[in-house]
Amino acid sequence: MEKPRETILRSYEWLIESWYEEYPGLRATQVYERLRGYGYSGCYETVCIGTRRFRKRRKESYHQLNFLPGECAQVDWLEVGFPWG
């Protein structure tokens, strides 16, 4: 079994976890800015990778519609006026 790599972010994990418990919708950019206030000197990419397990996936924002052939039709209308008529 592979031992997890030690990263500069490891010492801040308890802080990140507490932030995500309080604010589950935090983005990695927000976490990065907060960490900089605590003296974090690592890069943004490390924060992105390190916070993946805390960030929740967003639900899909559409509803799949299924119709049989000929059961439904859609029409897009466009009205264009020309200056000559």
42 domain residue, yes or no: yes
Q: pLDDT averaged over the chain?
A: 86
**Is 2's pLDDT higher than 70?**
no
Question: Which tokens is 17 given?
Answer: 């976890």
Number of independent structural domains in the chain: 1
pTM: 0.61
Q: Which domain holds residue 42?
A: 10-51
Tokens 């466009």 correspond to what residue? 78
Report yes or no on 1 lying in a domain.
no
Long-range contacts of 66-74 (CB under 8 A, 24+ apart): none
Residue 57 in any domain: the answer is no
- Residue range 22-69, pLDDT digits in tens: 998 899 999 999 999 999 999 999 999 999 988 877 677 778 888 888
Q: Helix or strand or coil: residue 46? A: helix
